[in-house]
Structure 1
Amino acid sequence: MTMGTTTATAYSTWLFYYSPTCNFPSPRLAPRRITLRSRSRTSTCLSAKATSWQMESGILQKGIAEFYDESSGIWEDIWGDHMHHGFYEPDSSVSVSDHRAAQIRMIEEALRFAAVYEDPTKWPKTIVDVGCGIGGSSRYLARKFGAKSIGITLSPVQAARANALSAAQGLADKVSFQVADALNQPFPDGKFDLVWSMESGEHMPDKAKFVGELARVAAPGATIIIVTWCHRDLDPTEESLKPWEENLLKKICDSYYLPAWCSTADYVRLLESLSLQDIKSADWSPYVASFWPAVIRSALTWKGFTSLLRSGLKTIKGALAMPLMIEGYKKDLIKFAIITCRKPK
């Protein structure tokens, strides 16, 4: 299949699936504070071993790095330097100009949910951005709190671009970025007042190791914020997802270089096992519903289409998976989750 044919297929697939009236799951608006231990059973992702290419960390990391090396420039050109979802009111009608503001709202709502604003005397002075993209969150947080922030990514292209943008914005003394593995962070124990992971957890092949590293680098009393894609929580009578659900998620994994998925409840159990405090979680899927049609709409512009044509096969493959993501949300399988906690003092 030629590049032109592949890109045309991506374009037509996006066009076919785009519907401004997509039925996303009903809102579950209230944060859920965890006060009791969940049942001990875990989803498949927490017990899976390195038996497939997705779980072989070297291959997975290489795929992730190349995917973002290839696609980050397109995203920045169209969406700016915040490489994550926007936060919208459920069922809202928004204009194209609102989407970048919605990405800022996502950061603000995450900070508010985690109660970072409650005591200005305890605002973070040191921040790590785990899976930093091109540094949008790091720069925003550094400005807001007057803090120093370090971002890590597997993509050399992202790290270089993030450092260049920070220098251009006069933040080189406050913000820096480097290539590093989130599962083996190059930082001492207890270094950061705020540990921030915005849509990077879904790429982690070992969720226990991932959460353990977030807790390790957190200073006593630090806040940990994880915003990530999850699958639905299992019902008490279930031992696993349904076969069709597992099949859909596998197709998405193959397109976005993801290991096996896990649930919000799995994350909560991991945080509980580390004796972390003030654990809260919520399903923010209704708040991101407007984002998916917006991404598709941007791809249907001439600028988006020509950028995709120039991008490369990995980005095109990711584009073709967009309808699968929409299907997962519509069928209440995929959840956009926020999980926050504090490290004991």
Structure 2
Amino acid sequence: MTEAAESGESREELNKVLATLYDDTSATWEDTWGDHMHHGYYDPSQSRSLSHHRSAQIRLIEETLRFARVSDDPSRKPKSIVDVGCGIGGATIYLANKYGATCHGITLSPKQVERAQALAAADGLADKPFADGKFDLVWVMETAEHLPDKTKFVAELARVAASGGTIIITTWCHRDLSAAEGSLHADEKELLRKICDSYYFPDLCSAADYVLLLQSLSLQDIKTENWSQYVAPFWPAAAVNSTLTSCSGWETIDGALALPLIVEGYKKEFLKYTIITCRKPK
């Protein structure tokens, strides 16, 4: 992991860029893909119509919960949930309804906040009280890659998790380094640079880096798995079916160029879509 030092000013500037990006693209994304602003989870043998892509996004949520062993038992299911990087609230609302839980969503985008509140109101969730900072489930789906200080980020997740609570992170990582390697290969570094520049990822680390961070905080039941093969079909579909590449916000991240980079990263097994789960000790 190569955490770069950053000033408060550079962090603020990155936040503004990300907020503008998602302000500009969220409505277009919703029109095409629905209110779940994340990958789908695919069975390679199934066909992939647009409706199937939307069901695959729901399946990603369910497979994530299954991997983390989040219980449906009424006595053990999460009662308070925080969705870090909630987009327009698709997963937040889904989890609230599934568990009957109090959910708190966090996003940098004012337009996403406005849309999420409207969707929550339509689903009868707007008047639910928010948790006081202690969450049974800390949900971070496709957000961690935007955060430059992974050490501070993971520590904050641990801080807000309740005793015995579950932390789930799904994120892009680069491959783990072998014991003999001091760094990524030169061609991998260049591909990583292009991906990070295109998507405003300040830095990507490996799954092994996350494990070390979680272990340093004495978190338990740490598990990781590479899900690239299950989510990779989403990106060719996004390039073909989505109108994102023609909307103003997506142009700011060179969307037409960036989508093939993701596909290339998966094919070379350099880019890993990784799920990471753990529990806070009781």
TM-score normalized with structure 2 length: 0.94
The one of 221, 224, 240 aligned to 1:297: 240
Give how far 1:310 is off. Answer: 4.2
Of the three residues 316, 321, 338, the one matched with 2:275 is 338
Q: Which stretch of the first structure deviates more once superposed, 141-150 or 319-328? A: 319-328
1:142 pairs with one of 62, 86, 96: 96
User: Is 1:278 matched with 2:221?
Assistant: yes
Aligned pair in 2 of structure 1 residues 313, 112: CA closer, same or farther (>3 Å)?
A: closer
1:93, distance to aligned residue in structure 2 (A): 3.4
Conserved 8 A contact 1:131-1:153: yes
Question: Structure 1: how far apart are the matches of 2:128 and 2:239?
Answer: 35
Q: 1:243 aligns with which of 176, 186, 202?
A: 186
**Are residues 1:214 and 2:157 paired?**
yes
Of the three residues 261, 266, 271, the one matched with 1:329 is 266
Gaps of 5+ in 1: 1-42, 177-186
**Contact 1:252/1:321 (CA < 8 Å) preserved in 2?**
yes
CA distance in 2: counterparts of 1:120 and 1:266, whole angstroms: 35
Q: Structure 1 CA distance, aligned partners of 2:129 and 2:34?
A: 18
Q: 1:175 to 1:164 in 2, by over 3 A?
A: farther
Structure 2 counterpart of 1:255, which letter?
A: S
Moved more, 138-147 or 89-98: 89-98
Matches within 5 A, 1:249-260: 249-260=192-203
Higher relative contact order (CA 8 A, sep 6+): 1
Shift of 1:196: 0.2
Paired AA for residue 188 in structure 2: E
- In the other structure, the counterpart of 2:173 is 230
Tell me the amino acid that sits aligned with residue 335 of structure 1.
K
Distance 1:175 1:100, change over 3 A: farther
Percentage of matched positions with identical amino acids: 62
Alignment-mate amino acid for residue 126 of structure 1? S
Q: Who is 1:39 aligned against?
A: none
1:126–1:193 CA contact under 8 A, matched in 2: yes
Q: What is the CA deviation profile of residues 122-165 of structure 1, one whole-angstrom value per residue up to 9, with x for unaligned ones?
A: 10111000000000000000000000100001111111111011
Q: CA deviation at 1:118?
A: 6.1
CA distance in 2, matches of 1:310, 1:233: 35
Counterpart residue number, 1:133: 87
Confirm whether residue 195 of structure 1 aligns to residue 135 of structure 2.
no
Residue in 2 aligned with 1:7?
none
CA drift at 1:63? 1.1
Q: 2:211, 2:186 → 1: CA distance?
A: 24
Q: Give unmatched runs, 5+ long, in structure 2.
A: none
Matched-pair contact (CA < 8 Å) for 1:70–1:315? no
Provide TM-score, normalisation by structure 1: 0.77
Q: CA deviation at 1:104?
A: 0.3
**CA displacement at 1:311 relative to structure 2:** 2.8
Q: 1:93 aligns with which of 41, 47, 70?
A: 47
Q: CA deviation at 1:95?
A: 2.5
Indicate the larger mover: 330-339 or 248-257: 248-257
CA shift for structure 1 position 309: 3.4
Q: Which amino acid aligns with 1:260?
A: D
**Letter of the structure 1 residue corresponding to residue 141 of structure 2:** M
Q: Deviations over 1:61-81 (max 9, x none)?
A: 111111111111110010000
Partner of 2:17: 63
Distance 1:145 1:118, change over 3 A: closer
**SS of the counterpart of 1:227?**
strand
User: Is residue 2:256 matched to residue 1:319?
Assistant: yes
The structure 1 residue matched to 2:127, chosen from 167, 173, 178, is: 173
Deviation at 1:102, TM superposition (A): 0.4
SS at match of 1:160: helix
Q: Of 40, 49, 56, which residue of structure 1 is paired with 2:5?
A: 49
Equivalent residue number for residue 59 of structure 2: 105
Contact 1:253 1:259 in 2 (8 A): yes
Q: CA RMSD in A?
A: 2.0
Whole-angstrom CA distance in 1 between matches of 2:124 and 2:214: 37
Cα shift at 1:97: 1.8
The alpha-carbon deviation at position 229 of structure 1 amounts to 0.6
Deviation, 1:316, is: 5.8
